[in-house]
Structure 1
């Protein structure tokens, strides 16, 4: 992280957390789940944590690495000394009204607690700024900067969540991508699924059609295609400014999938600058930690039924 940016540091602390197990892992040994879901740690590391009693299947006093998940399983993680990575100390409030508040989130910084972050999150920092409990209503990647809206009461949280689920919220992103994008406007229509750990993949429609034609795939072939189910994903991309080596584009997600903008810029043939996973030299193995900022900004958000309209200025350092 740049030395010129203010950073936030929290003191180490003990922490216990609980993680629900997706149904796709039922019947899978604990060690296989840990290795696949958190591939940035070695299999030997997870085996040692389980044998030490720090990681166990919920409901048991002690687990073995080869214990198999049963229906409705969860995992308990205990860490005696959490040392959170630092984050930019730059969260600022950019709008607020009855039942809601909007902030500009810097990157890298997660919105929600999880992984290596519990106190250095946009949620926790915004609660400190306001001095009250708030409710997250949408996601934003840790490596993406820009608008994050929180509800300040449970009634508004329900209203906002419902509006999002019904597609009544408009979002707009700005991205700085590799290369000269020639098409003024295009729609990328490629379904998305989880590939491994925190890495996802978009799949061309012709490939998904071929997979649908396959009958009775084996367990091994299913694993090779990723554990997640394919979900429809569409993004409208418009060119804002062209250069010889890079372009600025506006991205409007017509669906809301994890890593959608990043994956669809990659599918367009113009990945986002500084993306360690989906960039030209990205590592899609899931073993690379995403601990830097990429050139992607959540730039605008409109909730027409609530009369909320928010927009951020473009980042000053993005030049084509």
Structure 2
């Protein structure tokens, strides 16, 4: 892959909330959450262990509770102790965590609020695919549900865009991205579910190019995990995060109304 330019922005994270048992951080794109495919590159788990090096030296073992895609920014929860790992893991399995995302999509949806309950599975299970991870809507897929609400409509260089609040009530792979694309509102910068999956294949082979910038507008998909609520020790913990700077900058480029 051509490494002349970054995928999106410098790998970075900051602490949003912390206790002796857990820590919530906001990660930037394209920071991966854990080591992947044997590649040597910065990752969130490594960063957390470096930040908490004293606790690690005293036996702490960090465990990721929720995982975000490389190109998704926002809130991530990490347990510090075995007790927290078990408790938070159970809460995740029982769907007791509330998550909200903000997405920037192409176009102005005809709806103000809607719910998508179309089932999703990996496309390769039912048809040939050039992208192993690509998901699709299919009746044999797993049940899933996402609630959507339009927060704002705007234009940029005369082209329509919208800011959407997304609330996934299940946690399927690429759920929000697939549901929005199916609804006719693909996420800006999405290399797989946006203008064409050819964008993803070109990116894999050539890296970020001027041609891709023209087609995708952003070097990563415009999806940010902005709310994460979870139960812990009989208390509901609420965490919230501002939209990432690169997405704020994109919105700031809106045409004057």
Structures share a fold, TM > 0.5? Answer: yes
TM-score normalised to the size of structure 1?
A: 0.62
Are the structure 2 counterparts of residues 126 and 87 from structure 1 closer, same or farther at C-alpha, using a change threshold of 3 Å? Answer: farther
1:294 maps to which of 216, 221, 244: 221
Mark the runs of 5 or more structure 1 residues left unpaired by the alignment. Answer: 8-84, 213-229
Q: CA deviation at 1:86?
A: 10
Corresponding residue number in structure 2 for 1:252: 167
Corresponding residue number in structure 2 for 1:310: 239
Checking the alignment, whether the CA contact within 8 Å between 2:187 and 2:222 is kept in structure 1 is yes
The count of corresponding residues between Structure 1 and Structure 2 is 217
Q: CA RMSD in A?
A: 2.7
Q: CA deviation at 1:164?
A: 0.7
2:14 maps to which of 74, 89, 92: 92
Give the match's secondary structure for 1:103.
strand
For each residue in 1:16-36, what CA deviation from the matched residue of structure 2 results, as whole angstroms up to 9, or x when unmatched? xxxxxxxxxxxxxxxxxxxxx
For each residue in 1:161-180, what CA deviation from the matched residue of structure 2 results, as whole angstroms up to 9, or x when unmatched? 11011010000000000001
Are the structure 2 counterparts of residues 306 and 318 from structure 1 closer, same or farther at C-alpha, using a change threshold of 3 Å? Answer: farther
Corresponding residue number in structure 2 for 1:158: 86
Corresponding residue number in structure 2 for 1:203: 137
Give the match's secondary structure for 2:198.
coil
Give the match's secondary structure for 2:115.
strand
Corresponding residue number in structure 1 for 2:150: 239
Are the structure 2 counterparts of residues 130 and 192 from structure 1 closer, same or farther at C-alpha, using a change threshold of 3 Å? Answer: same
Corresponding residue number in structure 2 for 1:46: none
Are the structure 2 counterparts of residues 306 and 124 from structure 1 closer, same or farther at C-alpha, using a change threshold of 3 Å? Answer: farther
Mark the runs of 5 or more structure 2 residues left unpaired by the alignment. Answer: 125-130, 209-218
Are the structure 2 counterparts of residues 98 and 2 from structure 1 closer, same or farther at C-alpha, using a change threshold of 3 Å? Answer: farther
| Pair 1:177 & 2:105 matched | yes
TM-score normalised to the size of structure 2?
A: 0.76
2:115 maps to which of 162, 179, 187: 187
For each residue in 1:47-98, what CA deviation from the matched residue of structure 2 results, as whole angstroms up to 9, or x when unmatched? xxxxxxxxxxxxxxxxxxxxxxxxxxxxxxxxxxxxxx99724211111013
Distance in 1 of aligned mates of 2:95 and 2:39: 30
